C-alpha cells in the first residue's frame, strides 16, 4: 500500500534537493519516500524551471491530452459547420428558373 504525499511536503522535498543541495538518496531515506519518486519530482521541477527561463510553457502530458481533445472537438465542429455552409451554398446557387 502506498502512502499519499501532499503537495506541500513534495515542494519541501524538492527544495531540499534543488536549493539546499542535499542528495536525493539522503532526503529519500530521511523522509521515507522512494528515491525514484523523488528523482521524478526533481526532474519535473527542473524541466519547469528551464521552460520558464526559456519562455516556453511547460505542459504536463495530462494537460497536453486535454488540449488535444479540445482541438479535435473544435476541428469536428468546424467540419460540421463547413458541410452546412456547402449545402447552403449549393441550395442558394441554384438557378431559380
**Residue 85 predicted with pLDDT over 60:** yes
**Residue 82 predicted with pLDDT over 90:** yes
In this predicted model, what pLDDT tens digit does every residue of 18-71 receive, in sequence order?
Answer: 888 889 999 889 888 889 999 999 998 988 888 777 776 767 788 889 999 999
87-95 average pLDDT score = 86
- pTM for the complete prediction? 0.54
Contact by Cβ (8 Å): 10, 41: yes
Treating both helix axes as pointing N-terminal to C-terminal, what angle do 35-54 and 7-18 enclose, rounded to 10 degrees? Answer: 80
Contact by Cβ (8 Å): 45, 18: yes
CA atoms within 13 A of residue 29's CA, in its CB half-sphere: 4
Domain limits, the chain? 1-58, 60-97
String of b and e for 4-30 (b: at least 16 CB within 10 Å)?
ebeeeeeeebbebbeeeeeebeebbee
Q: Which CATH number is 1-58 given?
A: 1.10.10
pLDDT for residue 96: 63
Amino acid at each position: 500500500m502506498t502512502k499519499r504525499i501532499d503537495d506541500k511536503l513534495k515542494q519541501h522535498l524538492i527544495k531540499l534537493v534543488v536549493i539546499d543541495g542535499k542528495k536525493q538518496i539522503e532526503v529519500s531515506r530521511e523522509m521515507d519516500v522512494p528515491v525514484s519518486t523523488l528523482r521524478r519530482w526533481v526532474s519535473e521541477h527542473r524541466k519547469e524551471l528551464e521552460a520558464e527561463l526559456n519562455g516556453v510553457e511547460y505542459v504536463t502530458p495530462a494537460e497536453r491530452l486535454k488540449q488535444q481533445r479540445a482541438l479535435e472537438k473544435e476541428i469536428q465542429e468546424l467540419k460540421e459547420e463547413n458541410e452546412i455552409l456547402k449545402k447552403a451554398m449549393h441550395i442558394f446557387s441554384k438557378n431559380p428558373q
